[in-house]
Amino acid sequence: MKIDTRKSSLTVSRWVQKALFGSAVLGLAIGMGMQSAVAGSPATKKAFKHFTPFTRVAQMPIVRDERGKIDYEATYAKAQAAALHLADFVARYKDSDVLGEDIILGHDWVLGGTSPTCRKTQTCSDDEIAHAILGIPSPEKINPDKGAFLDEAETIKNVKKASVLDFCNEHYAKQALGVAPIIDDKKVVNGYSHTPALPCEVSVWNDDKHIYVDMLDPNAIFTLFFTDVHFSAEMDDPAFADAISALPPQVKSEIMAIVRHAMDDFDPKTTPRQKALGPVYKSMEQVIEAVDASPEDSPYKHVGYTQVGGGDFDSTDAQAVTQAIINTMSIHGEPDQGTHPTVIDDEDNTLDSILSTGSSWRSARPSPLPLPGKNYIIEACSPKFAKMAMGTGLHHVTALPCEITVQVIDQDGDGSKETLVVSYLDPHFMLGALFADISEEEKQTFAAIPGTIMDDLQKIVAAALEFNSGYTLNEGVQIKYDMLP
């Protein structure tokens, strides 16, 4: 199925999408537990099942000393060990062998950030599993009775981090990204454009009461980040609507089964939870409003590039460009992390001179995360902005880091892939949709931050493409997709 990426010639126009609104919401209702009909009418407001972007899956007890007081350092160490135990299980075991019917046979989950050998054979080193876990810094201290201090290596210590794990599943990712059909020959529309919303993220963190395992809820992600699918012509087919709406609940149940099994093995005192966290969405109208409120009318911004003089791209080019962006951004854990020496003008000014002060951007990983369809993901991090976001509550951590993706597409429909697309998960949408539970004062404080983040990321990409990619490209042109009815 060919979908033209240009907004003016979309296969399904806005008025047709509006006509399909009823069937789309019906399909959405199936994914949310057979609850809904058209949002907004008095009868259906009661039937619509509320959802939130985050779900607490499990919690464990903190560590106390012999006097019954919290041992802060031991509790933090336990949270880090729990994350490592969970990562080890995802990386080294075939889930269906361990969990049986809780996992669809043959659809194994793997740990993002590990090697191809690890992902395919479960033969993984301890080091790669440990390094696959992202540590997102917060403004909180591990031990509030101590200040931040430098160790002998002059590394800041006593800063609490939340651990984030990327859960990947090739079968579900292929369907979500339009690589494989949902049913018959029907696929997700403009599949690659949703790549920044993947993979599934799970976090482990602690406060003074518990150690928590949270997840970015697949039901909410499918609703918030795939609105164009809900209003696509394919949803007019009840079989397609049934099949695609069944995916998020299945993904959620499988991740929950994995987490609870691994955590119960780690600590038998683990308590299973299913607690909704974050802003509450009570109707499809709210979802549409959240998407409509973003500057792009979308959770994403897509920019397409062609080669000067013409020519096609292939997946090797996409991977090379992705790596060039990572190298330009700098890599976490490397000695030069957070510095950007790329010279951008005749005055010998470096990229750092035009990035926001103190942002210290870096890639969380030395190489991109590959997803089906030859999609490549960069997980961009700024300790400054991460700490600001985490200051609103560590349950938001699975909404981080900032994701940039690279893919090559056939935009003009002639059978050749002449366009390289760089896609951004729009920080404006993330703040408005996933952080909507923060206080009004915090919203005012953060009002300008999404624009700053987007500006920084686009400047890094521009510098990478112009100076470090090895390609001579025409100026980027924004690609739009209708995400709304």
- DSSP letter string, 449-461: HHHHHHHHHHHHH
In a domain, 440, yes or no: yes
Whether pLDDT at 150 is above 70:
no
pLDDT of 28? 42
Whether pLDDT at 232 is above 50:
yes
Q: Is residue 126 helix, strand or coil?
A: helix
Whether pLDDT at 22 is above 60:
no
pLDDT of 393? 96
**271-325, pLDDT tens digit by residue?**
999 999 999 999 989 999 999 999 999 999 999 999 999 999 999 999 999 999 9
**234-252, pLDDT tens digit by residue?**
999 999 999 999 999 999 9
Q: What does the pLDDT average to over 434-461?
A: 97
Q: What does the pLDDT average to over 24-46?
A: 36
Contacts of 313 (CB under 8 A, 6+ apart): 307, 408, 417, 418, 419, 420
Mean pLDDT of the chain: 89
Whether pLDDT at 367 is above 90:
yes
Q: Could you give the percent of the chain with pLDDT greater than 90?
A: 83
Whether pLDDT at 445 is above 60:
yes
In a domain, 401, yes or no: yes
Distance CA 289, CA 223 (A): 12
Confidence of residue 41 (pLDDT cuts 50, 70, 90): very low
- List Cα–Cα distances, 4 to 194, 328, 481, in angstroms: 16, 32, 9
Whether pLDDT at 47 is above 50:
no
In a domain, 484, yes or no: no
| Nearest alpha carbon to residue 108 among 167, 194, 57 | 167
Distance CA 63, CA 209 (A): 10
Number of folded domains in the chain? 1
Q: Which residue has the tokens 């005012």?
A: 444
Q: What does the pLDDT average to over 333-351?
A: 96
pLDDT of 154? 60
Torsion sign (Cα): 363, 366, 369, 375: positive
| Nearest alpha carbon to residue 478 among 301, 291, 227, 321 | 301
pLDDT of 106? 78
Task: Tell me which of 149 and 153 has the higher pLDDT.
Answer: 149
In a domain, 485, yes or no: no
**175-224, pLDDT tens digit by residue?**
999 999 999 999 998 999 999 999 999 999 999 999 999 999 999 999 99
In our burial notation (b when 16+ CB lie closer than 10 A, e otherwise), range 210-249 reads bbbbbbbbbbbbbbbbbbbbbbbbbbbbeebbebbbebbb
- Residue 165 in contact with residue 83, Cβ under 8 Å? yes
Confidence of residue 48 (pLDDT cuts 50, 70, 90): low
In a domain, 1, yes or no: no
pLDDT of 225? 97
pTM: 0.89
In a domain, 398, yes or no: yes
- Residue 439 in contact with residue 316, Cβ under 8 Å? no
- The phi, psi pair for 181, rounded to 5°, reads -70, 150
Single-letter code of the amino acid located at 322 = T
Confidence of residue 412 (pLDDT cuts 50, 70, 90): confident
Contacts of 444 (CB under 8 A, 6+ apart): none
Which residues span the domain enclosing 148?
A: 7-479
In a domain, 2, yes or no: no
In a domain, 275, yes or no: yes
pLDDT of 155? 65
Distance CA 4, CA 190 (A): 9
